[in-house]
Amino acid sequence: MKKIIDWIRKELLGILPAFTFFLIMFGVLAVTRALTLEAYGVTVRASAIAAIGALFVAKAILVSDKWPFLNLYPRKPLIWNVVLKTAVFSVITFLFLFIEELIHESHKYSSMTFGYEHLKAGVIWSVFLAREIWVTILLLFYCSAIEFFRVVGVDKVKKIFFGDKKAE
C-alpha cells in the first residue's frame, strides 16, 4: 500500500508544474475566447474545461517528452530541442483543441457528423487560430523553461530565483 501511495505522490508532484502552467494557459485561452466572441465573463463551464484540458494536455506533454526523438540534440544549443519540442507540443495541443471543439459542436447538434459539418462551416477559424498562436507562444516559454531546468538543474534554478535558504 505504501508503494502505491508513494507512486501516486510521485506522479502528482511530477505533473504539478506542467499542470499549473497549462491551467494558467487554458485559463488565458478561455478568457481570450470569451472576449473575442464578446461573451464577456468567464463561466464555470469554461473554467472547468480549462482545468480538465490542463490535466489532459499536461499529462500528454509529460508523456510525449519521454519520446526519444524529442531529445535529438542533447549536445547542441538549447534552441534546437526547444524548437522541436514546441513544434511537437503545438501539434498535440492543436489536435486537443480541435477535438474539444468537435466534441462541443457534436454535443450541440447531437451528432458527430452534424457537429463536424458545423465545425467546418460555422467555426470562426481566425479565433481558433488565434488560440493556437497563444498556445504556441506559451509552449515556447514552457519548452524553454523545461530545457533550461534540465541543463542547469532544478536546485540551481531555485537558488537563482529564490535565493539560498542556507545563507539567510
Domain ranges of the chain: 2-154
Encoded amino acid at 89, one letter: F
Cell, residue 32: 481570450
DSSP code per residue over 106-152: HHHHTSHHHHHHHHHHHS-HHHHHHHHHHHHHHHHHHHHHHHHHHHH
Q: What is the mean pLDDT of residues 130-154?
A: 87
pLDDT at position 40 is: 47
Question: Residues 6 or more apart from 125 whose CB is under 8 A from it?
Answer: none
| pLDDT tens column, 73-108 | 778 888 998 999 899 988 888 888 788 778 877 888
Q: Say if CB 85 and CB 143 are below 8 A apart.
A: yes
The answer, as to whether pTM is greater than 0.85, is no
pLDDT at position 46 is: 62
Cell, residue 59: 499529462
| pLDDT tens column, 107-133 | 888 888 888 888 778 777 777 788 788
Q: Which residue has the cell 509529460?
A: 62
How far is Cα of residue 72 from the mean position of the Cα atoms in its chain? Answer: 22
pLDDT at position 113 is: 84
Residue 21 has pLDDT above 80, yes or no: yes
Residue 139 has pLDDT above 50, yes or no: yes
Residue 5 has pLDDT above 80, yes or no: yes
| pLDDT tens column, 25-82 | 777 777 777 766 655 445 556 667 667 777 777 777 777 777 888 777 778 888 998 9
Q: Quick one: how many helices (H) and strands (E) in the chain?
A: 6, 0
Q: Say if CB 59 and CB 125 are below 8 A apart.
A: no
Cell, residue 54: 490542463
Q: Say if CB 62 and CB 88 are below 8 A apart.
A: no
